């Protein structure tokens, strides 16, 4: 590519500096003629005196050259006066004039902030950075790899300006919220496109923006890169503007992250081992805002006095200590003795015992586990063929007692050069994942009460935060102690053993590429890939699980009447509900499959004429096919302890069917994609670059109608290498200066697929099962104007290297106008569909990306390098006609409405506590219950949002990172901090109208309203008494849940976090030689050790984490020992 006489093939990896140096030499020195060549051997070393393999060694002005072996050595025939150029990706290049010395030892320095060196890999092309006109960030995996962090998407946090990564959950397999330059779409995807070795990485299942933080079991398949071994990665190229992503056309709207994996190198076979040994700290109550058992017991005492904790709770769904007390008082043992006599003294003594327990649920449910990661890679090859093999094991035996992960990966890559014309490569990657997680059901949004409901949630983290510390896991004799949840005995330890989720994922990719050079100018390239992913999620709920026992809880008539898990026969409504799961538990299974083919053919024409004009033309074609299948099945009555025989009571199926639920399901999804693309780039005099790209995409995602199928996209961009100008020669402190500009149209799929009418099968909702029919429903009318979501992006950027490459910086300013976005619009409904999804919404965003890096101090023995990234982004929805409900806007993940940023958080306006009751009050606008200006709550499904207060966006405006590396001889220390600011966070919903003796309460409750007058001093509402509770629930009001969504429960999302601190020791070359090693390094790392700043109102709540239960976990504090050895 870009082959010219002056820069033969290997010039691809030659750095900008090298080229400059060469030019000056050849201009001023001319060519000296000398006779007598001799074989000269040499060695190339890196800064830390590590031998550098794979360095290109070239005699300038000739075709002759070689590549260093892995021990850094090379041999070449030279004659005095030959100018020898050494260059390697990621290192500055050096040209040395050979002066007949016996050996030639050279040291190369790693370039700081490699962004301005080498090449940009777009997945379609590999372009010399000097000719590149787009905005991109090139990150070397070696530099940003964080031992202990497995998911590669999390490694990008704070590393590239404009890329924000929010760890909404840290459970293995779940994806962080990644945004490149913020959101571009309101209802569609906002996540970037991942590309691995030129092939788009398709998601197994598409997780929507909202689902990402839901804690649902499907989120464990949310990270498309979870199967990638980070040690196999060579570089990341983050493509940010229209020019950089141009060749992704209709999928480029959200930016592209290109991963390039390692290749084999010719030379000596090298073996590398990396081992990471991680331990995680248990969370501690001191970090959180939860009452200890004595404080909790005093609140329970108040509840008792207020008539909430009466013996009636025995027939309720949940109870804790008080329930147990009443149970002991009421139930005689076999001898007719009561375990507790009903006297005030006895009761007080009983309660006092529990008041002192102070159970540490974190200690019981979490472990200081050991995570091991082993990785071996072997690289070998000759000029004709190279191979790279790597395999890894990741084994995490669990931060909590319920989770566990094992992942195995394989990466095998071979490149062959059959002749000067023909070369080919084959790549096989595979990963297998086996994961255990606490059993979890999907959460269900309940717009009535304004809550998310998740039945049988046993997430250890949220259990520890939400369960009273007066409860105990073991009784005085060391036996498991049970309280009641869902009408059945409950002990979290027992439940986690008996209710578990098992996830298996097999991910296999076969990829091949072929390249044929027709001539010096014309090259044909083919790339093809097949990927198959199969995942199963088995939810095993044994007969001993609380979830199974809840179906059998029918102790007395009250319980039978209220237990919703019992069966009510619709043919006999007067009959008492009965148990329909007499034996066994559940075996629920969900499967997801993905089959993906991707083929690409392209022709590349490249020529240089008159030494000043450089022209490259690329024409290509692509076909992609993705089939997805997802299925689920509920297995009733599986008897785990009884030989695995299912016992199915026919009535449990009858119950499911009568409730209009199928007990299994399967759905398929087909993605067909074809595209034609062309790119022309022209460089004049190495100074001026112009680049034009056009692409024509076709997809079936909008529906089968041919009218909406095709979309042309285009980009125009240019750059000016100012440093090459004559007038810059005097400014010697400027090594590199480039001004870039780009403008173009990119697109993305919206969430609508109705370019033709959409019909879906359904079952009618009729009372009597025999009346039901399988019917076909009109889901969406045809929308003949349906098209893709589109975006015009403009970008202006400046890149500079200053002071002999000591400092590099890059600034980008961008503006994006999204249009044709899909949003809901209310129509007159005469066509038959009132709320339609249509391409009419607009939004705009703009921002700045800044990167500054440099070597601040450089001495013989020590150095200090620093790197700062800063990204600013704001979005504004300029046109949308959707009609959000209050509930849509007040939730933690934010909502969308015109005139506000994407994912805006709104609050109900809190208006103080009621003087007489301490119940919170709100500014309610036109409350449907009456005209009062202050109301007990608001109706969450109200469309009148005028009285809500806008808080801010939940997406941060400012994001970035600060990295510092200090090196002293063989030691180096790295401190990496990330920050974000400008967003708002909804605090955990801690308040409820009714509490049971099972619940934990936050410490705020100490300051709660207790008597009239307190409302002047506190904003913490009262604990309501039984009568008040009766009144409130009689009105159907929910003041306490409204309080959770009020202005009183919002915090700022600003934070600064020390993400990573590490200390590395590199073994010296003498020792290495002695031990026959190429390299050896040992690193100690602390991940997430310190949250330096966050809003005080958060009181321990992680500003990134959504505590939604299910399978979600916050990011952990980890300590890692990492070993690296190369042979």
Q: Which residue has the tokens 């980008």?
A: 812
Q: What is the smallest separation between the CB atom of 316 and other proteins, expressed in angstroms?
A: 14
**How many residues in the shown chain lie near other proteins by CB under 8 A?**
85
Q: How far apart (Å, rounded) are the C-alpha atoms in residues 451 and 891?
A: 9
1034 lies in the binding site for other proteins (CB under 8 A): no
Nearest to 873 by CA among 790, 976, 795: 795
Instruction: Write down how long the chain is.
Output: 1127
- Angle of helix 293-305 relative to helix 321-330, nearest 10 degrees? 60
Q: What is the smallest separation between the CB atom of 511 and other proteins, expressed in angstroms?
A: 20
Q: What is the smallest separation between the CB atom of 650 and other proteins, expressed in angstroms?
A: 16
Single out the residue of 419, 479, 572, 730 in contact with other proteins (rule: CB under 8 A): 572
Number of other CB atoms surrounding residue 21 within 10 Å:
18
Nearer to other proteins, 582 or 706 (CB): 706
Give the 3-state secondary structure of residue 194: strand
Number of other CB atoms surrounding residue 41 within 10 Å:
12
Piece of 5-13, 48-56, 779-787, 965-973 that binds other proteins (CB under 8 A): 779-787
Q: How far apart (Å, rounded) are the C-alpha atoms in residues 121 and 263?
A: 14
901 lies in the binding site for other proteins (CB under 8 A): no
Piece of 198-206, 297-305, 757-765, 808-816 that binds other proteins (CB under 8 A): 757-765
Tell me which residues in 491-550 interact with other proteins (CB under 8 A). 518-519, 522, 524
Cβ partners under 8 Å of residue 404, min gap 6: 396, 397, 398, 435, 436
The encoded tokens of residue 582 equal 């007499």
Angle at the Cα of 167 from the Cα atoms of 165 and 168, rounded to 5 degrees: 120
Nearer to other proteins, 403 or 658 (CB): 658
The encoded tokens of residue 342 equal 């009903």
Total H helices, total E strands in the chain: 16, 52
Single out the residue of 10, 506, 530, 603 in contact with other proteins (rule: CB under 8 A): 603
Nearer to other proteins, 45 or 657 (CB): 657
CB 186 within 8 A of CB 823: yes
CB 44 within 8 A of CB 110: no
Single out the residue of 336, 761, 1034, 1076 in contact with other proteins (rule: CB under 8 A): 761
What residues pair up with 778 in beta bridges, in sequence order?
Answer: 759
Q: What is the smallest separation between the CB atom of 323 and other proteins, expressed in angstroms?
A: 21
Q: What is the smallest separation between the CB atom of 464 and other proteins, expressed in angstroms?
A: 24
Q: What is the smallest separation between the CB atom of 1090 and other proteins, expressed in angstroms?
A: 41
Q: How far apart (Å, rounded) are the C-alpha atoms in residues 539 and 1004?
A: 37
Angle at the Cα of 77 from the Cα atoms of 72 and 81, rounded to 5 degrees: 100
Q: What is the smallest separation between the CB atom of 698 and other proteins, expressed in angstroms?
A: 5
Nearer to other proteins, 593 or 1118 (CB): 593
Nearer to other proteins, 929 or 1084 (CB): 929
Tell me which residues in 412-441 interact with other proteins (CB under 8 A). 441
Nearer to other proteins, 306 or 672 (CB): 672
The tally of CA atoms less than 13 A away on the side-chain side of residue 1023 is: 25
The encoded tokens of residue 727 equal 């007038």
Tell me which residues in 909-938 interact with other proteins (CB under 8 A). 928-929
Q: What is the smallest separation between the CB atom of 648 and other proteins, expressed in angstroms?
A: 15
Where on the phi/psi map is residue 198: left (φ > 0), alpha (ψ -120 to 50), or beta? left
642 lies in the binding site for other proteins (CB under 8 A): no
Nearer to other proteins, 164 or 602 (CB): 602
Which helix (DSSP H) or strand (DSSP E) does residue 321 occupy? helix 321-330
Q: What is the smallest separation between the CB atom of 922 and other proteins, expressed in angstroms?
A: 20
Single out the residue of 674, 970, 975, 1026 in contact with other proteins (rule: CB under 8 A): 674
Nearer to other proteins, 613 or 760 (CB): 760
Q: How far apart (Å, rounded) are the C-alpha atoms in residues 1008 and 1015?
A: 9
Tell me which residues in 138-177 interact with other proteins (CB under 8 A). none
**Residues in contact with other proteins, shown as a per-residue x/- string from 448 to 487 under the rule CB under 8 A:** xx---x-x--------------------------------
Nearer to other proteins, 760 or 1074 (CB): 760
Number of other CB atoms surrounding residue 610 within 10 Å:
5
Tell me which residues in 823-852 interact with other proteins (CB under 8 A). 825-834, 836, 838, 840
Piece of 130-138, 373-381, 771-779, 963-971 that binds other proteins (CB under 8 A): 771-779
771 lies in the binding site for other proteins (CB under 8 A): yes
Q: What is the smallest separation between the CB atom of 35 and other proteins, expressed in angstroms?
A: 41
Piece of 103-111, 321-329, 361-369, 564-572 that binds other proteins (CB under 8 A): 564-572
Q: How far apart (Å, rounded) are the C-alpha atoms in residues 307 and 302?
A: 9
Nearer to other proteins, 335 or 767 (CB): 767
Single out the residue of 24, 29, 446, 1035 in contact with other proteins (rule: CB under 8 A): 446
Piece of 250-258, 665-673, 958-966, 1050-1058 that binds other proteins (CB under 8 A): 665-673
Tell me which residues in 989-1008 interact with other proteins (CB under 8 A). none
Q: What are phi and psi of 609, to 5 degrees?
A: -130, 150
672 lies in the binding site for other proteins (CB under 8 A): yes
Q: Which residue has the tokens 């800044």?
A: 850
CB 493 within 8 A of CB 435: no
766 lies in the binding site for other proteins (CB under 8 A): yes
Nearest to 239 by CA among 592, 717, 684: 717
Torsion of CA 979, 980, 982, 984, to 10 degrees: -120
Nearer to other proteins, 305 or 826 (CB): 826
Piece of 139-147, 268-276, 768-776, 790-798 that binds other proteins (CB under 8 A): 768-776
Where on the phi/psi map is residue 384: left (φ > 0), alpha (ψ -120 to 50), or beta? alpha
565 lies in the binding site for other proteins (CB under 8 A): yes
Single out the residue of 694, 703, 895, 982 in contact with other proteins (rule: CB under 8 A): 703
Nearer to other proteins, 343 or 926 (CB): 926
- Angle of helix 344-355 relative to helix 321-330, nearest 10 degrees? 150
CB 313 within 8 A of CB 562: no
Work out whether strand 664-684 and strand 613-633 pair parallel, antiparallel, or are unpaired. Answer: antiparallel
Q: What are phi and psi of 296, to 5 degrees?
A: -65, -40
Q: How far is CA 340 from the centre of its chain?
A: 53
- Angle of helix 293-305 relative to helix 344-355, nearest 10 degrees? 150
Q: What is the smallest separation between the CB atom of 63 and other proteins, expressed in angstroms?
A: 24
661 lies in the binding site for other proteins (CB under 8 A): yes
Q: What is the smallest separation between the CB atom of 890 and other proteins, expressed in angstroms?
A: 18
Please spell the DSSP secondary structure of 626-677, one letter per residue: EEEEEEEE--EEEETTTTTEE---HHHHHHHHHTT--SEEEEEEEEEEEEEE
Q: What is the smallest separation between the CB atom of 237 and other proteins, expressed in angstroms?
A: 28
The encoded tokens of residue 383 equal 């000029």
Piece of 82-90, 326-334, 762-770, 851-859 that binds other proteins (CB under 8 A): 762-770
The encoded tokens of residue 115 equal 């962004």
717 lies in the binding site for other proteins (CB under 8 A): no
Piece of 230-238, 446-454, 843-851, 969-977 that binds other proteins (CB under 8 A): 446-454
Piece of 181-189, 581-589, 654-662, 987-995 that binds other proteins (CB under 8 A): 654-662
573 lies in the binding site for other proteins (CB under 8 A): yes
Piece of 641-649, 764-772, 899-907, 1018-1026 that binds other proteins (CB under 8 A): 764-772
């Amino acid at each position: 590519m870009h082959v010219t006489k002056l820069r033969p093939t290997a010039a691809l990896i030659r750095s900008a500096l090298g080229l400059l140096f060469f030019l000056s030499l050849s201009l001023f020195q001319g060519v000296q003629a000398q006779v007598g060549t001799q074989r000269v051997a040499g060695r190339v070393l890196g800064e830390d005196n590590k031998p550098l393999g794979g360095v290109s060694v070239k005699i300038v002005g000739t075709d002759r050259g070689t590549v260093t072996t892995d021990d850094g050595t090379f041999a070449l025939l030279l004659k005095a006066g030959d100018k020898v150029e050494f260059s390697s990706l990621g290192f500055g290049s050096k040209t040395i004039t050979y002066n007949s010395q016996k050996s030639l030892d050279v040291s190369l320095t790693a370039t700081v902030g490699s962004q301005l060196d080498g090449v940009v890999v777009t997945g379609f092309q590999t372009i010399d950075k000097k000719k590149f006109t787009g905005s991109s960030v090139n990150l070397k995996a070696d530099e940003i790899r964080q031992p202990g962090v497995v998911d590669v998407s999390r490694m990008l946090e704070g590393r590239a300006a404009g890329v924000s990564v929010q760890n909404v959950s840290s459970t293995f397999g779940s994806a962080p919220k990644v945004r490149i330059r913020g959101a571009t779409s309101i209802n569609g995807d906002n996540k970037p496109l991942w590309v691995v070795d030129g092939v788009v990485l398709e998601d197994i299942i598409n997780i929507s923006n909202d689902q990402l933080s839901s804690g649902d079991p499907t989120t464990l398949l949310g990270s498309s890169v979870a199967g990638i071994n980070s040690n196999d990665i060579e570089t990341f190229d983050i493509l940010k503007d229209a020019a950089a992503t141009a060749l992704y056309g209709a999928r480029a709207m959200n930016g592209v992250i290109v991963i390039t994996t390692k290749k084999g190198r010719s030379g000596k076979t090298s073996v590398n081992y990396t081992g990471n040994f991680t331990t995680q700290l248990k969370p501690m109550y001191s970090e959180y805002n939860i009452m200890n058992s004595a404080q909790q017991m005093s609140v329970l005492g108040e509840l008792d006095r207020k008539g909430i904790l009466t013996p009636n709770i025995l027939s309720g769904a949940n109870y804790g200590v008080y329930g147990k007390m009443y149970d002991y008082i009421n139930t005689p043992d076999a001898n007719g003795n009561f375990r507790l006599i009903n006297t005030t003294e006895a009761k007080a003594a009983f309660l006092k015992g529990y008041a002192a327990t102070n159970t540490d649920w974190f200690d019981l449910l979490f472990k200081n586990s050991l995570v091991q990661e082993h990785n071996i890679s072997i690289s070998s090859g000759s000029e004709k063929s190279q191979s790279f093999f790597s395999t890894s094991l990741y084994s995490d035996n669990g931060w909590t007692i319920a989770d566990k992960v094992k992942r195995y990966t394989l990466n095998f890559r071979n490149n062959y050069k059959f002749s000067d014309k023909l070369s080919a490569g084959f790549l096989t990657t595979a990963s297998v994942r086996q994961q255990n997680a606490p059993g979890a059901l999907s959460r269900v949004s309940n717009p009535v009460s304004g809550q998310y409901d998740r039945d049988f949630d046993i997430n250890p983290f949220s259990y520890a935060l939400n369960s009273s510390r007066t409860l105990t896991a073991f009784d005085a004799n060391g036996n498991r102690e049970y309280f009641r949840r869902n009408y059945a005995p409950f002990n979290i330890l027992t439940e986690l053993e008996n209710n578990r989720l098992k996830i298996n994922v097999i991910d296999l990719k076969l990829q091949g590429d072929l390249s044929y050079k027709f001539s010096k100018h014309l090259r044909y390239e083919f790339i093809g890939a097949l990927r198959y992913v199969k995942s199963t999620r088995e939810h095993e709920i044994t007969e001993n699980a609380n979830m199974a026992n809840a179906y059998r809880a029918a102790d007395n008539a009250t319980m039978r009447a209220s237990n919703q898990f019992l069966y009510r026969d619709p043919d006999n409504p007067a009959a008492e509900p009965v148990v329909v799961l007499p034996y066994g538990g559940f075996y629920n299974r969900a499967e997801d499959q993905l089959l993906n083919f991707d083929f690409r053919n392209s022709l590349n024409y490249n020529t240089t004429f008159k030494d000043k004009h450089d022209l490259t033309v690329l024409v290509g074609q692509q076909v992609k096919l993705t089939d997805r299948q997802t299925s689920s099945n509920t297995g009733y009555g599986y008897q785990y302890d009884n030989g695995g025989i299912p016992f199915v009571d026919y009535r449990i199926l009858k119950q499911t069917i009568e409730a209009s639920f199928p007990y299994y399901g399967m759905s398929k999804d087909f993605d067909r994609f074809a595209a034609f693309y062309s790119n022309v780039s022209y460089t004049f005099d190495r100074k001026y670059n112009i680049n034009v790209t056009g692409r024509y995409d076709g997809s079936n995602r909008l529906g089968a109608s041919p009218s909406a199928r095709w979309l042309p996209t285009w980009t125009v961009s240019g750059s000016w290498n100012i440093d090459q100008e004559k007038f810059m020669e005097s400014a010697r402190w400027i090594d590199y200066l480039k001004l870039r500009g780009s403008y173009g149209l990119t697109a993305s799929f919206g969430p609508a697929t109705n370019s033709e009418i959409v019909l879906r099968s359904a079952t009618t909702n009729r009372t009597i099962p025999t009346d039901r029919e399988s019917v076909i429903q009109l889901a969406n009318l045809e929308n003949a104007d349906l098209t893709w979501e589109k975006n015009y992006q403009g970008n202006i950027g400046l890149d500079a290297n200053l002071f002999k490459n000591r400092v590099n910086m890059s600034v980008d300013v961008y503006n994006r106008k999204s249009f044709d976005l899909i949003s809901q619009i209310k129509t007159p409904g005469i066509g038959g569909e009132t709320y339609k999804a249509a391409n009419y919404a607009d939004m705009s965003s703009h921002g700045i990306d800044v990167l500054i890096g440099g070597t601040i101090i450089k001495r013989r023995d020590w150095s200090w390098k620093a790197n700062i990234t800063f990204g600013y982004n704001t979005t504004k929805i300029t046109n949308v006609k959707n009609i959000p409900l209050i509930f849509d806007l007040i939730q933690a993940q934010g909502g969308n409405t015109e005139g506000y940023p994407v994912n805006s958080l709104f609050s109900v306006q809190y208006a103080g506590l009621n003087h007489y009751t301490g119940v919170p009050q709100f500014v309610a606008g036109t409350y449907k219950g009456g005209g009062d200006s202050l109301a007990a709550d608001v109706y969450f499904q109200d469309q009148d949002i005028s009285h809500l207060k806008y808080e801010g966006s939940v997406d941060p405006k400012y994001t970035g990172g600060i990295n510092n590396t200090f090196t002293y001889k063989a030691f180096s220390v790295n401190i990496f901090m990330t920050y974000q600011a400008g967003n708002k966070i909804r605090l955990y919903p801690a308040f409820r109208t009714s509490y049971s003796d099972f619940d934990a309460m936050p410490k705020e409750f100490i300051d709660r309203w207790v008597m009239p007058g307190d409302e002047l001093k506190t904003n913490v509402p009262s604990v309501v008494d039984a009568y008040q509770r009766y009144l409130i629930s009689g009105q159907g009001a929910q003041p306490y849940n409204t309080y959770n969504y009020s202005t009183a429960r919002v915090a700022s999302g600003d934070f600064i976090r020390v993400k990573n601190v590490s200390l590395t020791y590199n073994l010296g070359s003498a020792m290495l030689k002695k031990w026959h090693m190429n390299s050896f390094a040992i690193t100690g790392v602390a991940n997430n050790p310190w949250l330096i700043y966050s809003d005080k109102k958060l009181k321990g709540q992680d500003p990134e984490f959504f505590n939604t239960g299910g399978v979600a976990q916050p990011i952990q504090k980890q300590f890692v020992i990492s070993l690296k050895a190369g042979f």
